[in-house]
Structure 1
Amino acid sequence: MNKRALLEVIALDARDAVAAAEGGADRLELVTDMAADGLTPSLATFREVRAAVPLPVRVMLRASDGFSAGTPADLRALTETARALRDAGADEFVFGFLDETGGPDLRALDALLAVLADPAPARWTFHRAIDRAASRESLRKHLTDLPGLDTYLTAGSPTGVTGGLPTLLAEAALTHTAEPGYEPVLMVGGGLHLTHLPDLLAAGITAFHIGGAARPQGWAGPVAASAVGEWRGVLGG
């Protein structure tokens, strides 16, 4: 493997962050409420995590379960939260919204990006909303020119990596040829298991995202450095 694979771990708090760092994580995705598949954490939690570890931290911007930005009032509240996080030093984020047709909600994305552009465009991941899109290819092409977008987090399917593996391998091939819309990093996550890694690595995929796999006790327990370390060992140091 020519390039060190990036390992991103979901953290809910500073304790998780420290364990992920000890295990060899490269980056954190900071969220709250995994019962809703990850919502925006509090400002206090972000500050605690930022003080606890030197790792890059991507902060989730999502106010409710699902992939809708909600009402205009919901979106205004989310942009205000994003501004507060930006002012507190957050410079990497995770978000993504679909409209009623299953296409990207450009209204919501533009509203957030306007806030995250100061003082410079923040880097961000379009998360697994892509797995629920009416057309993955169309979504990618609509988002090509959005500032700061450098990663797609995807399982290739709403059901997880096992069902999405053919899609992931096909998109990896397009990413390597710099096909328009496929320039961002393809990060695989969502039901990802160690047994998936040989095929994904062989396809040239170099970014991986784990949540429950880093928690031997499930979501009721914390991240374990040993579990993260097992992934780090397989991916290479």
Structure 2
Amino acid sequence: MLLEVIAYTPEDAVLAVQGGADRIEWIADPLSGGVTPDLSQAAQMRSAVQVPIRVMVRTRGGSFVYTEDELRGMRRDIRRIQAVGGLDVVTGVLTPDGAVDTSALEELVNAGQRLAFTFHRAFDEAKPLHRALEVLSVYPQVTDILTSGGAKAAPKGASVIAELLRRSAITESKPAPPRILAGAGLTADNLRPFLDATHARRIHIGSAARFGGNPLARIDPQRISEIRRILQSHIEQR
């Protein structure tokens, strides 16, 4: 079972790990859905905690269709991330008609050939989702897909997530197909029924890790610990 928690700063990352996070997603500007953070802090972030860290690479909020200038900047950021060492990447690119932009994706993964990639919730805007999963399964560096099942929040997309988990388990186009990372709107209050419905084993949380569920508030390690306990209880009951 993996618990990934969003952090904005090294201090955030420390608090998240204190609460029981297994992995950090480092972003800036959460109200836009997350963009590339200040990479001048990358070494400090890396030294703050011992758990894996994945860094958002996204030039702006809004559409996941990028210009060549934007993609050039994203490739540059990925090379900077790789140069720091010990960090991986979260990104996602689509074509105007809602397909995975394989040309752009290949350029991004080639910019960070030693890195693992999470394809973020751009996936939820792909049409259809099962085809996007098949496409992403071709890329060994794409180890995770963050998804709410195409819904605004993961609990609403539980049935689709369960199907994606089933498809991921049988997608053998490569030795290790992308793992489904369920996220968006998961909280301590709705996590148990979500796990019962999906049997997801990789969970991503953002606002639920913070005081009052406010995305701009400080991380509350106790909230993360409560979610960690729910995950552990689910494992023990299976």
Same fold (TM over 0.5): yes
Distance in 2 between residues matched to 1:229 and 1:144, nearest whole Å: 33
Aligned counterpart, 1:205: 200
Moved more, 68-77 or 12-21: 68-77
* Partner AA of 1:209 in structure 2: H
Return the match for 1:142 from 132, 135, 142. Answer: 135
1:9 and 2:2 aligned: no
Aligned with 2:99: secondary structure? Answer: coil
Residues 11 and 214 (structure 1), Cα distance of their counterparts in 2 relative to 1, 3 Å cut: same
Taking CA–CA contacts closer than 8 Å with sequence separation of 6 or more, which of the two structures ends up with the larger relative contact order? 1
Return the match for 1:71 from 67, 72, 97. Answer: 67
Query: Aligned residues: percent identity?
Result: 31
1:102 and 2:78 aligned: no
Aligned counterpart, 2:236: none
Query: How far has the Cα of 1:70 moved from its partner?
Result: 2.0
Aligned with 1:125: secondary structure? Answer: strand
Query: How far has the Cα of 1:111 moved from its partner?
Result: 1.1
* Partner AA of 1:197 in structure 2: L
Distance in 1 between residues matched to 2:216 and 2:170, nearest whole Å: 42
TM-score by length of 2: 0.90
Residues 179 and 152 (structure 1), Cα distance of their counterparts in 2 relative to 1, 3 Å cut: same
> Are 2:4 and 2:204, in contact at CA under 8 Å, matched by a contact in 1?
yes
Distance in 2 between residues matched to 1:167 and 1:13, nearest whole Å: 33
Aligned with 1:108: secondary structure? Answer: helix
> How many matched pairs?
230
Distance in 1 between residues matched to 2:169 and 2:82, nearest whole Å: 32
* Partner AA of 2:83 in structure 1: D
* Partner AA of 2:117 in structure 1: W
Query: How far has the Cα of 1:178 moved from its partner?
Result: 4.0
Aligned counterpart, 2:211: 216
Query: How far has the Cα of 1:130 moved from its partner?
Result: 1.1
Distance in 2 between residues matched to 1:146 and 1:10, nearest whole Å: 24
1:84-123 matched pairs, under 5 angstroms: 84-117=80-113, 120=114, 122-123=115-116
> Are 1:11 and 1:31, in contact at CA under 8 Å, matched by a contact in 2?
yes
Residues 172 and 147 (structure 1), Cα distance of their counterparts in 2 relative to 1, 3 Å cut: closer
Residues 220 and 32 (structure 1), Cα distance of their counterparts in 2 relative to 1, 3 Å cut: same
* Partner AA of 1:24 in structure 2: G
Query: How far has the Cα of 1:179 moved from its partner?
Result: 6.0
Query: How far has the Cα of 1:199 moved from its partner?
Result: 4.0
> Are 2:209 and 2:219, in contact at CA under 8 Å, matched by a contact in 1?
yes
Moved more, 183-192 or 139-148: 139-148
* Partner AA of 1:141 in structure 2: E
Aligned with 1:219: secondary structure? Answer: coil
Query: How far has the Cα of 1:180 moved from its partner?
Result: 5.2
Q: Which runs of no fewer than 5 residues in structure 1 stay unpaired? A: none
Aligned with 2:16: secondary structure? Answer: helix
1:163 and 2:156 aligned: yes
Deviations 1:113-146 (A, max 9, x none): 11101xx3x1111111111112111112222221
Aligned counterpart, 1:186: 180
Query: How far has the Cα of 1:107 moved from its partner?
Result: 2.0
* Partner AA of 1:213 in structure 2: A
1:61 and 2:57 aligned: yes
Residues 104 and 177 (structure 1), Cα distance of their counterparts in 2 relative to 1, 3 Å cut: closer
> Are 1:67 and 1:97, in contact at CA under 8 Å, matched by a contact in 2?
no
Distance in 2 between residues matched to 1:174 and 1:196, nearest whole Å: 24
TM-score by length of 1: 0.90
Q: Which runs of no fewer than 5 residues in structure 2 stay unpaired? A: 234-238
* Partner AA of 2:184 in structure 1: G
Q: Please tell me the root mean square deviation across aligned C-alpha atoms, in Å.
A: 1.9
1:131 and 2:124 aligned: yes
